[in-house]
Structure 1
Amino acid sequence: MDQTFLMIKPDGVQRGLVGEIVARFEKKGLKLVAAKFESLPEERVMEHYSEHKDKPFFPGLKSYIMSGPCFLMVWEGKNVVSITRQMIGATNPAEALPGTIRGDFALEIGMNVIHGSDSDETAKREIAIHFKKEEITSYERVDEKYLYE
């Protein structure tokens, strides 16, 4: 099974959206294999967003992502990266379709509720930044035989 990293950002946590967002992924049939609730330390923020550190928007992004707790997750399923990206919606909430998480809950790019890995390679990198191998639990959902051919 494929894995991806998702993070409900401080605005999603503060607005009480964690449960509803997790429920959407569970109802889709994806499997939550790791989760933690924490305020991110600066060194992990720097590593996670390393490709953006020289961009003009980075200081605001860093300040925002460290402004409150986040809910970090690893999800598992076939094609999980592309499925979760579709469910999350466009980065700019003004372009996100209704029914997507950002289309339903976000108004601005800077506070767009959730982060999701954009490729299998990025997912592996981000999972390794935020989770130790022993924090990820492998198990079989009782309904998997009805989810996959």
Structure 2
Amino acid sequence: MDRTFVMVKPDGVQRGLIGEIVSRFEAKGLKLAAAKLESLPEERVVEQYREHLEKPFFPGLKAYIMSGPCFLMVWEGKGAAAVVRTMIGATNPAEAAPGSIRGDFGLDIGRNVIHASDSPASAVREIGIHFAPAELIEYSKVDEPVLYE
């Protein structure tokens, strides 16, 4: 099974959306492999968003991500990164499909509720930034035989 990284951003945490978001991933059939609530230190925010360091919006993004707690998760399932990206919707909530997390809960591109890895390679990198190997739990769910061929 594949794994992917998901982060409920400070606006999603402050709005009480963690449970709704977790419920959507569980209802889809994904398996939670790790989760924690924390305020991210600057060095991890910089590493998380390193491709944006030189962009003019980065200082505001960094300040926003560090403004409150984030809920960090690792989800597991077949094609997990692609499945989760479809579920969260377009980066700009105005362009996100209704039914997607951003389409249902986001109003502003700068406060778009959630982040998810955009590829399996990004998932490996981002999981490594935020979770130690011992924090990732291996287990079987009773519904796996009915979810996958």
Q: What is the DSSP-based 3-state SS (H/G/I as helix, E as strand, rest coil) of the residue aligned with 1:146?
A: helix
2:115 matched to which residue of 1? 115
1:51 matched to which residue of 2? 51
Matches within 5 A, 1:58-77: 58-77=58-77
Q: What is the DSSP-based 3-state SS (H/G/I as helix, E as strand, rest coil) of the residue aligned with 1:97?
A: coil
Supply the distance in 1 between the matched residues of 2:30 and 2:43 (Cα, whole angstroms). Answer: 30
The TM-score, its normalising length taken from structure 2, stands at 1.00
Supply the distance in 2 between the matched residues of 1:132 and 1:82 (Cα, whole angstroms). Answer: 23
The TM-score, its normalising length taken from structure 1, stands at 1.00
How many pairs does the alignment contain? 149
Counterpart AA for 2:68: G
Q: What is the DSSP-based 3-state SS (H/G/I as helix, E as strand, rest coil) of the residue aligned with 2:45?
A: helix
Supply the distance in 2 between the matched residues of 1:99 and 1:48 (Cα, whole angstroms). Answer: 27
Counterpart AA for 1:14: Q
2:102 matched to which residue of 1? 102
Q: What is the DSSP-based 3-state SS (H/G/I as helix, E as strand, rest coil) of the residue aligned with 1:118?
A: coil
Report deviation, 1:36. 0.5
Across the aligned residues of Structure 1 and Structure 2, the Cα RMSD in angstroms comes to 0.3
Supply the distance in 2 between the matched residues of 1:124 and 1:33 (Cα, whole angstroms). Answer: 13
Supply the distance in 2 between the matched residues of 1:139 and 1:130 (Cα, whole angstroms). Answer: 20
Counterpart AA for 1:17: L
Percent identity of paired positions between Structure 1 and Structure 2: 72
2:39 matched to which residue of 1? 39
Supply the distance in 1 between the matched residues of 2:135 and 2:10 (Cα, whole angstroms). Answer: 22
- Per-residue Cα deviation, 1:117-138 (whole angstroms, up to 9, x for no partner): 0000000000000000000001
Alignment gaps of 5+ in structure 1: none
Counterpart AA for 1:3: R
2:2 matched to which residue of 1? 2
1:93 matched to which residue of 2? 93
Alignment gaps of 5+ in structure 2: none
